[in-house]
Amino acid sequence: MRIAGTSYLDSMVSQLNLLSSRQYQLQNQAATGQKISAPADDPAVMAQALNLQTDSRAAAQYAQNITALQSRAAAAGNALAALQTIANRAGEIATSADGTATPAQLQAYASEVTQLIQQAVQLMNTRSGNQFLFGGTASGSAPFTVTTDASGHVTAVTYSGNSEVSQSEIAANVTLAVDAPGQNNTGSGPRGVVSDSRYGADFFNHLIALQNDLLSGNTNAITATDAPNLSKDQDNLLYQVAANGAVQARLSAAAAWVSSQQNAAQTDLTNLAGADLTQTLTQLSQAQNAYQAALATSSQFMQMQQYILSLL
pLDDT tens-place string over residues 118-145: 999 999 999 999 999 999 999 999 999 9
Residue 285 resides in a domain: no
What local confidence, expressed as pLDDT, does residue 8 receive? 59
Give the Cα separation of 230 and 205 in Å (integer).
Answer: 10
- Phi then psi for 219, rounded to 5 degrees? -70, -30
Integer Cα distance of 227 and 95 in angstroms: 7
Specify the range with the lowest mean pLDDT, choosing from 7-11, 153-157, 172-176, 236-240. 7-11
Asked whether the predicted pLDDT for residue 245 surpasses 90, the reply is: yes
The answer as to whether 257 is a domain residue is: yes
Structure-model confidence comparison of residues 282 and 68, the more confident one:
68
Query: Which of residues 222 and 56 earns the better pLDDT score?
Result: 222
Q: What is the pLDDT of residue 47?
A: 66
Between 49 and 164, name the one with better pLDDT: 164
Confidence grade of residue 38 (pLDDT, cut at 50, 70, 90) = low
d(Cα 36, Cα 253) in Å, to the nearest integer?
35
- Please give the tally of structural domains in the chain: 1
Q: Is residue 234 part of a domain?
A: yes
**What's the whole-number mean pLDDT along residues 207-218?**
98
Q: For the chain, what is the mean pLDDT?
A: 85
Q: How far is CA 202 from CA 224, 230, 239, in A?
A: 16, 8, 14
CATH number of the domain encompassing residue 76:
1.20.1330.10
Angle between helices 103-124 and 43-96 (to 10 degrees): 170
In a domain, residue 179? The reply is: yes
- In three-state secondary structure terms, 159 is strand
Task: Output the pTM of the full model.
Answer: 0.73
Q: Report, as an integer, the average pLDDT of 206-232.
A: 97
3-class DSSP state of 195: strand
Average pLDDT over residues 284-288: 63
How far apart CA 57 and CA 266 sit, in angstroms, is 10
| Residue 34 lies inside a defined structural domain of this protein | no
The whole-angstrom separation of Cα 212 and Cα 143 is 24
Q: What pLDDT score does 3 carry?
A: 47
Q: What is the pLDDT of residue 265?
A: 73
Task: Check: CB of residue 69 under 8 Å from CB of residue 251.
Answer: yes
How far, in Å, CA of 49 to CA of 222, rounded? Answer: 70
d(CA 203, CA 193): 9
104, part of any domain: yes
Query: How far is 186 from 183, CA to CA, in rounded Å?
Result: 9
| Residue 137: inside a domain | yes
Q: With a cut of 80, say whether residue 205 has pLDDT above it.
A: yes
CA distances from 4 to 10, 162, 164, 217 (A): 10, 89, 85, 121
Q: Is the pLDDT of residue 266 over 80?
A: no
Angstrom distance (rounded) from CA 206 to CA 117: 10
pLDDT bucket at 293, cuts 50 / 70 / 90: low
Nearest CA among 253, 209, 250, 256 for reference residue 229: 209
Exposed, middle or buried by CB within 10 Å (0-12, 13-18, 19+), for 188?
A: exposed
Please say if the pLDDT value at position 157 is more than 80.
Answer: yes
> Maximum distance among all alpha carbons in the chain?
136
- Residue 272 has what pLDDT? 65
pLDDT tier at 5, thresholds 50, 70, 90: low
Residue 252, domain member (yes or no): yes
Boundaries of domain holding 144 = 54-266
The more confident residue out of 84 and 286 is: 84
